[in-house]
Amino acid sequence: MANLCVNIDHIATLRQARGEFEPNPIDAAKIVEKAGAIGITVHLREDRRHINDNDVYLLRKTVKTKLNLEMSINKDIVDIALDVVPDEATIVPEKRKELTTEGGLDVINNFNKIKEIVTKLRLKKVIVSLFVNPDIRQIKYAKETGTDYIEIHTGKYANAKTSKDIRKEFFKIKKAAYFAHSIGLKINAGHGLNYKNVVPVAKIPLIDDLNIGHSIISRAVMVGLDKAVKDMIKLIKK
């Protein structure tokens, strides 16, 4: 049965909109944990558009569950990760002009660099995950880097419009999860998951954590962060 990790990046997005101090991601993390999430996820982007360095260091000190740091393979970001030593690090692709992460890592064409970073993180006892599309070839190469986990990119499933396309993309996710499990990888999933589409993915028995952010923070504007988190947990525990 999947667990919920909440990505609180967009708490920081609201803060940055005014360039002030509220809302505070540290306070948000405390509410999220109290509501029952098993982890806090943040993406320290190279452009620092939302979460910043100070947030990450403070979260490392205050998070009681687990801190999952999403990160690119940029050297400065890697150095911060090695200094912070989060509980888990998820290596993701990053483009400067993207609104949000647009797809999975190209592990095949960046294999040596990714393997080097995975090795450094694991030497620090950090659990490592690679954010990949539900693509068997990419997952095979991910295994060879020494990573502990893959996180399956669920964006195409979340964005599919027709019932046929939704089923097609869901089958890819399920097939990828079972293949990853068969070669000894653990599995997380995330991207674009919301209160309408999360249940089928949550029912895949091999998935450990679902990383969900935007839909929860959006709902929190209307009903409060505590209730938004609890509502999502109820869905994924069905």
- In 3D space, the residue among 187, 185, 183 whose CA is nearest the CA of residue 210 turns out to be 187
With residues binned 3-state (H G I as helix, E B as strand, rest as coil), the percentages for the chain, rounded to 5, are: 50, 15, 35
Q: Which residues are catalytic?
A: 43, 70, 191
Q: What is the pLDDT of residues 180-238, one digit of tens each?
A: 999 999 999 999 999 999 999 999 999 999 999 999 999 999 999 999 999 999 999 98
d(CA 95, CA 92): 10
Per-residue pLDDT of 43-77, as tens digits, reads 999 999 999 999 999 999 999 999 999 999 999 99
Please report the pLDDT score of residue 136 as a whole number: 98
Read off the CATH number of the domain in which 101 is found: 3.20.20.70
pLDDT for position 100: 54
Q: At which residue do the structure tokens 């910043």 appear?
A: 52
39: which strand partners? 5
The values of phi and psi at residue 161, to 5°, are -100, -40
**Secondary structure letter of residue 136 according to DSSP:** H
Buried b (16+ CB within 10 A) or exposed e, 59-74: beeebebbbbbbbbbe
pLDDT digits (tens, 9 = 90+) for 130-153: 999 999 999 999 999 999 999 999
If you average pLDDT over every residue of the chain, what do you get? Answer: 96
Q: Which two tokens stand for residue 125?
A: 């006892």
127: domain range? 3-236
- How many domains is the chain built from? 1
Compute the distance between CA of residue 106 and CA of residue 167 in angstroms, rounded to an integer.
Answer: 24
What phi and psi, each to the nearest 5 degrees, are found at residue 37? -65, 150
- pTM for the full predicted model: 0.95
Question: Counting runs of H as helices and runs of E as strands, what totals does the chain give?
Answer: 11, 8
What pLDDT does residue 1 have?
81
Contact 134, 95 (CB under 8 A): no
Per-residue b or e along 175-195, where b marks 16 or more CB atoms closer than 10 Å to that residue's CB: ebbebbeeeebbbbbbbbbeb
Phi, psi of 212 (to 5 degrees): -130, 135
